[in-house]
Amino acid sequence: VEFLYCDLASMKSIRQFVRQFRAKNCPLHVLVNNAGVMLVPERKTEDGFEEHFGLNYLGHFLLTNLLLDTLKQSGTHSHNARIITVSSATHYVGKLHLNDLQSRCSYSPHGAYAQSKLALVLFTYRLQHLLTANGSHVTANVVDPGVVNTELYKHVFWIVKVVKWMTAWLFFKTPEEGASTTIYAAVSPEMEGAGGCYLYNEERTKSADIAYDEELQRRLWTESCKMVGISDEASRHP
């Protein structure tokens, strides 16, 4: 196991990480997009993005696009490279505000978090569409890990923390259990060549209806390219 530092809340750090990784000239068979914050107070990343949207979504969007060439070179007809992005059931109540992705008009921690998780589902479906159109040996899927007992809940109200502490053993998954669907998506032979899936408890399931809106997927992709400073065309072609 080798560690390379990457701060998903910093576009500079992401670009630096990708340069370091590419310098190693290693193949890339699996990319898991798993970083995230939840219900944080209103604050911005160093690039000026609202933190949920900037870290949970844009950081992964940029990282994935910068690593796409390596993923495409690493995948083969019989062994596709795989991109797994971790979303949440919260995306079902999320609304994408294309005119206010930074939640500047009115900030709600719950709304901003849900929007970032919906954006990840839309991103995955659009990415798979582009990969298929290019004939790339890369698949992209999105995972709902369930309710997992981690430090992600440190910004919830104190009463929720008390309830979590008292009931976690009964209702929450352990981190190992929470990782199972991500691992399934990353290595299971059953998922070979399968892309554009929403997975929960190691099974394909239906995501929110709005996530299948191809026009919304396209518009979010285009806007995201502008925000992180990459070419929309460059992200479409090998």
Report in angstroms the alpha-carbon separations of 75 from 31, 68, 124, 150, 190: 12, 11, 18, 33, 16
Active site residue 107: no
Is 27 in contact with 74 (CB distance < 8 Å)?
yes
Dig out the tokens for 74 from the structure: 């690493």
Measured between alpha carbons, how far is 30 from 63 in angstroms, rounded to an integer? 13
DSSP, residue by residue, 163-208: HHHHHHHHHSBPHHHHHHHHHHHHH-GGGTT--S-EEETTEEE---
Q: One of 57, 113, 184, 198 is an active-site residue; which one?
A: 113
Query: Pick from 46, 75, 99, 89: which is nearest to 223 by CA?
Result: 99
Active-site positions read 113
